[in-house]
Homo-oligomer: A and B are copies of this chain.
Amino acid sequence: MRKIEIIPLYYDKEILPGDDLGKIIVELAEKTGISIKNKDVVVVSHKVVSKAEGRVISLNAIKPSQRAIEISMKTGKDSKIVELILREASEVLKVGDGHIITLSRHGIVCANSGVDRSNSGGPNKVVLLPVDPDKSAEKIRVRIRDLTGKDVAVVISDTYGRPFRLGVINLAIGLSGIKPFRDYIGKPDRNGYIMRVTQVAIVDEIASAAELVMGQGSESTPFAIIRNVNYEACNECSCKELIMDKDKWLFK
């Protein structure tokens, strides 16, 4: 029996620009009494990655554009936050009462381009997504390998809504060392029927599994280690592989 474990790493200090996340994770694992093993998956909330990379913006410094002011009036959102949402978007898809859905610069369809006010470190601050989450994941992975000699996978997670379903779930926005899919195409099922379409987005399921211990509020658990996941190691893989080309979208 291959039992999976989801191990929370509690950290109640504020992450500051320049903080060494790989080192923090290794130290927390030691403190928690588990040593990092080969093939562990380390899940990191994007928020601490953004903070370590200085992607926290003080709203005082933002001057909203005319377009941001217009969208602010339409949505009831703070015009300075709207300005940041526009800067982080490659395209605005939907604007309405209380919501702005964009295609983020990373290619993710999301609310507010991922610009987030919760757990930002202060009332007048917001957190933007990391500039290149795959690179952020790789940096943490290399650092963990340097410190421990262990080869892990790293997944950066963030919270997303769904178009036809209530509630948010965690998805992967960056990865290193792991193939994002578990691929069943061309493989037989139990009856020998050859499966034609199934690719499981395993990194998204890993991000969701980690959220069960990480939480969204005051839990102070920005890291989790998932142990015993059956995944394919991959050095050249990217979270961008999960992005569906716009010309394949069935809903607009």
Task: Point out residues on A near B: beta carbons under 8 Å.
Answer: 1-8, 10, 12, 14, 32-33, 94, 96, 99, 101, 108-109, 117-123, 159, 162-171, 180-182, 184, 187-191, 193, 195, 198-202, 204-206, 208-209, 211-213, 215-218, 220, 226, 229-230, 241-244, 249-252
Contact = CB atoms under 8 A, between A and B. Distances in A.
Given A205-B208, A212-B206, A251-B252, A199 B2 contact: no
A191 B251 contact: no
A167 B190 contact: no
B1 A4 contact: no
A191 to B, nearest CB: 6
A207 B191 CA distance: 24
Contacts of A8: 1-3
B212 A195 contact: no
Contacts of A226: 212
B165 A217 contact: no
Among the interface residues A4, A109, A204, which one has the most CB atoms of the partner chain B within 10 A?
A4
A184 B159 CA distance: 13
The complex is assembled from copies of this chain, and their number is 2
The 8 closest A-B pairs by CB, nearest first: A167-B201, A209-B209, A208-B208, A4-B6, A205-B208, A251-B251, A109-B164, A118-B189
Nearest to A10: B1
B188 A242 contact: no
B163 A251 contact: yes
Contacts of A251: 94, 163-164, 251-252
20 contacts: A3-B7, A6-B6, A118-B189, A118-B195, A122-B191, A123-B191, A164-B244, A165-B171, A166-B201, A166-B243, A167-B200, A169-B201, A169-B204, A187-B218, A188-B218, A189-B218, A198-B216, A205-B208, A205-B209, A252-B252
Given A118-B195, A252-B252, 19 more contacts: A118-B193, A119-B191, A120-B193, A159-B198, A163-B251, A165-B171, A166-B199, A166-B242, A167-B180, A167-B201, A169-B208, A170-B205, A184-B216, A187-B217, A187-B218, A198-B216, A204-B208, A205-B212, A212-B230
